[in-house]
Amino acid sequence: MLFFSALIRNAELIVYPGAPHGITDTHKDRLNQDLLDFVRK
């Protein structure tokens, strides 16, 4: 299985155990923080 995190420099795969496909609604605070942390690297 190819993970896109392998294609982007400094990316890391973050798995949200038990999270549904609607993660942008159900886990938005954590997701947003993870995205902000990534772009600040």
Residue 1 has pLDDT above 70, yes or no: no
pLDDT tens track for 9-41: 777 888 899 999 999 999 999 999 999 998 887
Q: Which residues have a Cβ under 8 Å from the Cβ of 11 and sit 6 or more positions away? A: 4, 5, 38
pLDDT (0 to 100) of residue 38: 86
pLDDT (0 to 100) of residue 2: 62
pLDDT (0 to 100) of residue 11: 78
Give the separation between CA 34 and CA 37, rounded to whole angstroms. Answer: 5
pTM for the predicted model, two decimal places: 0.69
Question: Are residues 18 and 27 in contact, defined by beta-carbon separation less than 8 angstroms?
Answer: no
Annotated domain spans of the chain: 11-39
